[in-house]
Amino acid sequence: MAKKLYVGGLSYQTTEDSLRAAFAQAGTVVSAIVIKDKFSGQSKGFGFVEMSTDEEANAAIEMWNEKELDGRTVKVNEAKPMEERPPRRDNYSHGPSRGGFGGGNRY
């Protein structure tokens, strides 16, 4: 069964292809994703690699945790399941309206 790994501390120059190639040294990579900012498209400095077996995932952790990849020391461990989060509120729903036009003293 495939196991997903968290990879933190990535260089901003690390691509999904280079991440896949690095982890392929430890076994079969099912997927490799570098998380990017949705507005700028720049890497957020972390990603996820899915290895095909638990043994290969453990080998990848052993091979890459606290090791240098693209000039940065990366942290690799088993990814935790995503926790359910409350929905985000936009800037316009922070409570009751306080009116517009503040104003000062009328008298």
- What rounded mean pLDDT belongs to the chain? 88
What is the reported pLDDT for 84? 84
Mean pLDDT within 67-90: 89
Q: Does 96 score more than 60 pLDDT?
A: no
Q: How many CB atoms lie within 10 A of CB 55?
A: 12
Pick 67 or 91 by higher pLDDT. Answer: 67
What is the reported pLDDT for 14? 96
pLDDT per position as a tens digit, 45-73: 999 999 999 999 999 999 999 999 999 99
Contact of 76 with 7, CB cutoff 8 Å: yes
Lowest mean pLDDT among 9-23, 31-45, 47-61, 71-85: 71-85
Q: What's phi and psi for 102, nearest 5 deg?
A: 5, -65
Q: How many angstroms separate the Cα of 96 from the Cα of each of 5, 18, 51, 55, 59?
A: 43, 49, 49, 54, 54
CATH architecture for segment(s) 3-72: 2-Layer Sandwich (3.30)
pTM over 0.85: no
